[in-house]
Amino acid sequence: MPTKKRRIEIPRALQAQVLFASDRICCICRVKGKPVQIHHIDDNPANNDFDNLAVLCLDCHNETQIRGGFHRKLDAEQVMLYRDDWLKQVSKTRAIDEGKELNEAKAQNLKKEINAWLLLDKAHETPDNNLLEAESFVTKAALPPDVKQEEHRQLGMRMAKAVILNIARYDDLDGSTKYLGQYNEEDRSQLIRSAGRYLEETVLHVTSPDAEELLYLACVYGYQRRFVEMMRTIDKAINLDGAIREYLREPLTLIALLSACGSNRPKIDRLEKWIGMPPVKKDAFCDFIKTFDLKGFFGYIKWIAVKKPRAAGKRGVFLSMIAPQPNGVVWAFSEMIENRTTEVAPHSIVSTEELYDAVSHSFILICPIKRGYPYL
């Protein structure tokens, strides 16, 4: 079997130019109003030269695809002749028939359209550590409503992901800790605001939203501390696809959702119940630590925990960092996730049971982070 030639999508600015030059009319039959497509004259879908592109209606396009038989194929040479003739005719008609003003207006519109596509291409090429720049490209592009909505949806998703990942870090092989996040506090707030706006616009108000999109919106609500809207969104996502619960229990997602609960026990209980997470009991906590596979493991065993309302220090979502020592004892401290400060003085070396009593005095324990989870 011949290998299929790789299709390289025709840049949208070029598409606009090709369609404009042909007046959106098939260059072969020249029937106005028929749906058209852009055809690669040499049949190589990777060759996007302007000279290799012709606007054809579906019928005429079929004629170019005939293989064998009595019917004569519309070959490349003929398409080229028809195309060149038609482009000449279109530009002549524009010059003669229409007033100069109308032509100028058309040319202006084309310029606007091409600029819009170029800006969008820039937005798509912007890496996720500079989404605010991507946003400014999308905002500047003059877009038709349906294109605008799709762009906002994509931007909202990318921004939500960036915010969720901003707190993520990983332990490097040399033992140092590196962060995935790139955004400072100010940019992060801006991202949360924009992500919320775009996702509300495109996910909440469409008739058939997708469970994954709702999950991202729920996380954004979490960081905006909008508990009621967050729970409503989670409910919608679960109704749409029950399997999404698993993703809602992912540590990074969970931290976003917990942010909306504060230290409020009933809110945390409700969230845990909806996403199918049982409250932590002492024996489950101790078992997890005692049976943790420590072979070749050099980090801390981590638990997500929320500060209790009456405990000392700042409120928020914490990581309880536990380092097992020889002879079954552990050493531990707690670290606030938001600013990575160690607020609670290290607990001295204690048994696992004593650690549970000490930690659960100040924290609501949420869940452990399994070995192999790449973040946090």
Among 16, 18, 25, 28, binds Zn ion (CB under 5 A): 28
Contact between 57 and Zn ion per CB under 5 A? yes
Query: Count residues contacting Zn ion (CB under 5 A)?
Result: 5
Contact between 25 and Zn ion per CB under 5 A? no
Choose among 138, 31, 30, 28: nearest CA to 39.
Answer: 28
Nearer to Zn ion, 54 or 254 (CB): 54
Nearer to Zn ion, 26 or 138 (CB): 26
Looking at residue 239, its amino acid is: N
Residue 63 C-beta: closest distance to Zn ion, Å: 8
Contact between 234 and Zn ion per CB under 5 A? no
Nearer to Zn ion, 56 or 234 (CB): 56
What is the spatial distance between Cα 276 and Cα 283, in angstroms, rounded to a whole number?
Answer: 19
Residue 180 C-beta: closest distance to Zn ion, Å: 52
Among 19, 60, 248, 319, binds Zn ion (CB under 5 A): 60
Contact between 366 and Zn ion per CB under 5 A? no
DSSP state of 280: P
Among 21, 26, 230, 231, binds Zn ion (CB under 5 A): 26
Exposure on the CB side of residue 94, measured as CA atoms within 13 A: 17
Contact between 214 and Zn ion per CB under 5 A? no
What is the spatial distance between Cα 113 and Cα 110, in angstroms, rounded to a whole number?
Answer: 5
What is the spatial distance between Cα 125 and Cα 250, in angstroms, rounded to a whole number?
Answer: 29
Dihedrals φ, ψ of 361, to 5°?
-70, -40
Residue 365 CB coordination number (10 Å): 19
Q: Per the structure block, which two tokens stand in for 82?
A: 């028809």
Give the list of residues 6+ apart from residue 4 with CB closer than 8 angstroms, or none: none
Contact between 218 and Zn ion per CB under 5 A? no
Contact between 55 and Zn ion per CB under 5 A? no
Q: Which residue in the block uniquely carries the two structure tokens 């980090």?
A: 299
Nearer to Zn ion, 79 or 123 (CB): 79
Taking phi over 0 as left and psi of -120 to 50 as alpha, with beta for the rest, 8 belongs to beta
Among 8, 29, 66, 294, binds Zn ion (CB under 5 A): 29
Stretch that binds Zn ion, among 53-61, 66-74, 184-192, 305-313 (CB under 5 A): 53-61
Residue 30 C-beta: closest distance to Zn ion, Å: 7
Rule CB under 5 A: which residues touch Zn ion? 26, 28-29, 57, 60
